[in-house]
Structure 1
Amino acid sequence: MAGTNAAETTVDEVMAELAALDDPKARAVNEKHGDDHGVNLGKLRALAKRLKTQQELSRQLWATGDTAARLVALLICRPKEFGRDDLDAMLRQARIPKVNDWFVNYVVKKSAHAEALRLAWFADPDPVVASAGWALTSERVVKKPEGLDLAGLLDLIEAQMQDAPERLQWAMNTCLAQIGIEFPEHRSRAIDIGERLGVLKDYPTPPNCTSPFAPIWIGEMVRRQQAV
C-alpha cells in the first residue's frame, strides 16, 4: 500500500496488507485468548494511523467480518457518526474479545448514545452484551457516579457474579473493584463481597502487576491514592 493515498485506499488493499502482516506465531498466542488474528497490534495501529479517519472505509472493513479488519475499522471510524441502532447491531456482532473491548472503549464510550445503551445492555440476556453494559457502568462509577444506585449494583454483583459467564464476570468484578476504590462508604462491603465470592482469587498475575482479585485490587489502588 506504500505510495497509495490514504483517501483512495480500498478494502482489498487493506485486507492484502493485513494478510501480509499475519504472523502464525502471533496468531497461535492470540487464539489462546479467543482472538482469531495474527497481526501484531503495533503494526495494526501503524496501518490505521496511515489510513487516518475514514468512516466509509471503516464500515466496509467492519462488514468483512475479519477480526484484524474490524480492529482497523474501530481505529479509523468516527464514533459519533454511528446511530444507536448501528452500535447495538455492531456490539452483537463483536464476539471476539479484543474487538468487543476496543468497540466499547474506543467507539461506544465516545458516543452520545452511551448512557442509553448502557441501560439497554445492562440486563440483556446475552452475557457478552450485558458485559458491555457493566463496562459502561464501571466507567460511570469512576467518571460520573451521580444517580447510580451503588448499593443496588453491589446487590446484583453479590447475587450474580460468582456464576456469571467469564466475560460478564470480569466486567462485574471490575465494577465491584471500582466501587470499592472510589467510594470509602462502600469499600468494606465491596471487599467483603470479593472475599466471600473468591472470583479471580487465584488468577495468575505477572510480577509488578496488580491482581484482578477485587480485595487486592481495591487495597492496592487505595494505597496508591493515599501515597500521593
Structure 2
Amino acid sequence: MNLDMVMQELESLGKERTKKIYLSNGAHEPLFGVATGHMKPIFKKTKINQPLAEELYATGNYDAMYFAGIIADPKAMTEDDYDRWMDAAYFYMLSDYVVAVTLSESDIAQEVADKWIASGEELRMSGGWSCYCWLLGNRPDSEFAEDKISAMLDMVKSRIHDAPERTKYAMNNFIYTVAVSYMPLHDQAVETAKAVGPVEVNKDKSKSKFLNASDNIQKAVDKQQLGFKRRHVRC
C-alpha cells in the first residue's frame, strides 16, 4: 500500500462522532475521526513500514499520524527522528500515545525520554514521563535502575503541582505506574502519592478537576493488579 491508498482507507473509516471527540481533546483539522481499533485491518496490509510511516506522519492529519505510530519501526528511528516527530506532536494524544509509545519500543527509550523530561517543554515533558509509564508497564523490572526511578519519584513529588497541565497528568500516571508495575518501589510510590495528594488540573476552565494517584493505586490493589505488565505496548 502507498500513501494515497492508506489515506483513502482512513478517510472511508472516519466517523463524525469520533472526529468530534478528537477535536474536543485538542486535535485539529485535518483529521477523519477513525477509531483506533478500526485501523488494524489496514495494518495487516501495510505491516511495519518505516518509509510509509514517515510519509503518513508528515501529512499533519491526526489519523494518519496515529497510524504512522502503529506501522513505524521503533528501532530504525534515531533520536533526531523522535525529536522531529515530537516537534510535530501538537497535542497530548500525539505526544503521549503516538510518539512516546513508539519510543518505548526502541533501544534508546530511556535516554531520549530523560532529555524530554529535562526540556521544560510541556508536551516533551509529558511524552517523556509517559514513555516511562509505557516502559515500566511492559518491560521486566530488571531493566531499570532502582535509584533512578526512586529519584524520579522524588522529582515528581517536588515539581508536580507547578508543572504544566499535560505534564501533571503524565507525572501523576508515573506515580501510579511505579506503584502497580514496578514492585521494587511500590512502597515509595504509595508514599509519594500520599505526599502529593490531589493534583488540580483544568484551572483555566470553569470547573477544575483533581487527579489522585492514591485512589487509583488502591483500586489496583483491590483488584489484585500489582505486578501488572502489558504483553504489547502498541496495538
TM-score w.r.t. the length of structure 2 is 0.77
In the alignment, which of 125, 128, 131 is matched to residue 133 of structure 1?
128
Q: Report the equivalent of 1:83.
A: 78
- Partner amino acid, structure 1, of 2:188: H
Partners of 1:113 and 1:24 in 2: how far apart?
38
Q: Report the equivalent of 1:159.
A: 158
Deviations 1:15-64 (CA, angstroms, capped at 9, x unpaired): 22222322222211221112343112222232222222222111111111
Query: Which segment is superposed worse, 112-121 or 12-21?
Result: 12-21
Q: Report the equivalent of 2:231.
A: none
Partners of 2:120 and 2:16 in 1: how far apart?
35
1:82 and 1:13, CA in 2 relative to 1: closer, same or farther beyond 3 A?
A: same
* 3-state SS of 1:124 partner: coil
In the alignment, which of 17, 26, 43 is matched to residue 25 of structure 1?
17
Instruction: Indicate the RMSD between aligned Cα atoms, in angstroms.
Output: 2.8
The structural deviation recorded for 1:187 is: 4.6
Partners of 1:124 and 1:201 in 2: how far apart?
21
- Partner amino acid, structure 2, of 1:155: D
Partners of 1:221 and 1:145 in 2: how far apart?
22
Q: Report the equivalent of 1:5.
A: none
Identity across matched positions, percent: 24
Q: Do the aligned residues in 2 keep the contact of 1:62 with 1:69 (CA within 8 Å)?
A: yes
Partners of 1:29 and 1:223 in 2: how far apart?
31
Q: Do the aligned residues in 2 keep the contact of 1:201 with 1:213 (CA within 8 Å)?
A: no
In the alignment, which of 181, 191, 195 is matched to residue 189 of structure 1?
191
Partners of 2:46 and 2:148 in 1: how far apart?
42
Deviations 1:142-184 (CA, angstroms, capped at 9, x unpaired): 6334243444323322222123222100111012223344334
- Partner amino acid, structure 1, of 2:223: R
Q: Do the aligned residues in 2 keep the contact of 1:158 with 1:193 (CA within 8 Å)?
A: yes
Matched, 1:49 2:44: yes
| Number of aligned residue pairs | 209
Q: Greater helix share, 1 or 2?
A: 1
The higher-RCO structure (CA 8 Å, 6+ apart) is 2
Q: Unpaired segments of 5 or more residues in structure 2? A: 203-209, 228-235
Q: Do the aligned residues in 1 keep the contact of 2:75 with 2:107 (CA within 8 Å)?
A: yes
1:72 and 1:141, CA in 2 relative to 1: closer, same or farther beyond 3 A?
A: closer
Partners of 2:225 and 2:128 in 1: how far apart?
30
Q: Do the aligned residues in 2 keep the contact of 1:109 with 1:136 (CA within 8 Å)?
A: yes
1:140 and 1:24, CA in 2 relative to 1: closer, same or farther beyond 3 A?
A: closer
Q: Report the equivalent of 1:217.
A: 216
Partners of 1:47 and 1:140 in 2: how far apart?
26
> Which of these two proteins has the greater Rg computed from alpha carbons?
1
Partners of 2:218 and 2:201 in 1: how far apart?
14
Moved over 6 A (4+): none
Q: Unpaired segments of 5 or more residues in structure 1? A: 1-8, 203-210
- Partner amino acid, structure 1, of 2:22: N
Q: Report the equivalent of 2:100.
A: 104
